[in-house]
Structure 1
Amino acid sequence: MTGPLDTWDKAAAFALTLSDTAYGAGEKSGVIVTTNGRAFMFPGREAATSFVVTIDLDTIEMLKETEPETYWQSKHYQNWPGILIRYDSPDPERVRHVIEMGYEYTRAKKPVRKRKT
């Protein structure tokens, strides 16, 4: 898959090419790893301009320092393992790589615990 990831639909379509992925329950819940039920990518609060990928905090800091025009965090996401990625990134291949890194980060986590009802 090539070309810009300039909409949520294009970014989500790429994420869904990764193994064991699906849309989560609910329209805005994002893309999940089916083996553990955890979302690794979702529209987020800034859905008009950016989407969110869950990834480790050290990588977030590196991305914000090296390409702040693409990777950023609003106050809502600070100190949380999620990076906002702007749709108008000049380097869509790097964005794809970051999505893959977020997928691997999330895939390594334990399955979501189901709440008792």
Structure 2
Amino acid sequence: MIWEDAVAFALGLPGAELSTYYGAPAVKAANGRAFLTPGHEAGSFCIQLDLDTVAMLIETDPGTYWQSPHYQGWPAVLVRHDSADPERVRAMIGRAHDWALSRPRPRPRKTP
């Protein structure tokens, strides 16, 4: 699943919208929380999930889910485009959407 496929799937989730996150394209939940971003590493995109789920994904399928040093310790996991299990990837995008909705709306950023 490449970035465009992930975005197309994510935009089909209730209230999801295309937006930006730190200046990059992203899909956000209805409360303004990003849950899908392109990531910093080529060949992967990023989903935001709770730390327990991130650890479980990396342990059970390190060929698909991983973290570079940039993401370690943060509630986010990289997903390789060439995953052998696109159904599980879609399920995890859905879970990331649900987790984003369970969190409070992000605080507005200060503008200079």
Give the TM-score of the pair, scaled to structure 2: 0.92
**Correspondence for 2:36 among 29, 32, 41:** 41
Give the residue type in structure 2 aligned to 1:31.
V
| Amino-acid identity (%) | 48
**Correspondence for 2:62 among 39, 60, 68:** 68
Q: Deviations over 1:73-117 (max 9, x none)?
A: 000000000000001000000000110111111111111222355
Instruction: Write the distance in 2 (CA, Å) between the matches of 1:116 and 1:49.
Output: 33
Contact 1:30 1:40 in 2 (8 A): yes
Q: CA RMSD in A?
A: 1.4
The aligned residue for residue 8 of structure 1 is: 3
| Local SS of the residue matching 2:28 | strand
Structure 1 residue ranges, 4+ long, deviating more than 6 angstroms after superposition = none
Structure 2, unaligned runs of 5 or more: none
Structure 1, unaligned runs of 5 or more: none
Give the residue type in structure 2 aligned to 1:10.
D
- Offset at residue 44 of structure 1 (A): 1.1
Would you say how many aligned residue pairs link Structure 1 and Structure 2?
A: 110
Give the TM-score of the pair, scaled to structure 1: 0.88
Correspondence 1:32 to 2:28: yes
- Offset at residue 24 of structure 1 (A): 1.0
